[in-house]
Amino acid sequence: LTGLGLTIVSPVLPFLVKTYTSNPSGQATAVTLLTSIYALSVFLAAPVLGALSDRYGRRPVLISSLIGSALGYFIFGLGGALWI
């Protein structure tokens, strides 16, 4: 689901960033930073989610992850500033 979400958002991400920055260099930097932060977050969260799934089971962790992803995409869609 996370990979699918990235492939849905990545083609429109430059257009979303365009409303917050005026020059193309700033747009490229913002898209690069957003993509890098996303990759770093996935890298850091995977071991934590693995440990939680060992302790509490796979199903509760998957359900909470799906709810968290849905909330994150909702906030990203409604965000009125680039830092959101």
What's the token pair of residue 46? 């995977």
> Is the alpha carbon torsion for 68, 53, 8, 14 positive or negative?
positive
Residues 6+ apart with CB under 8 A from 73: 5, 9
> Is the alpha carbon torsion for 17, 20, 26, 32 positive or negative?
negative
Whether 60 maps to a domain, the answer reads: yes
Whether 54 maps to a domain, the answer reads: yes
pLDDT of residue 20: 84
Task: Name the domain count of the chain.
Answer: 1
Structure confidence by residue, pLDDT tens digits, 12-70: 888 888 888 888 898 999 999 988 988 898 889 889 999 999 999 999 999 998 899 88
Whether 55 maps to a domain, the answer reads: yes
Whether 83 maps to a domain, the answer reads: no
Residues 6+ apart with CB under 8 A from 5: 69, 73
Q: Taking the model in full, what pTM does it have?
A: 0.69
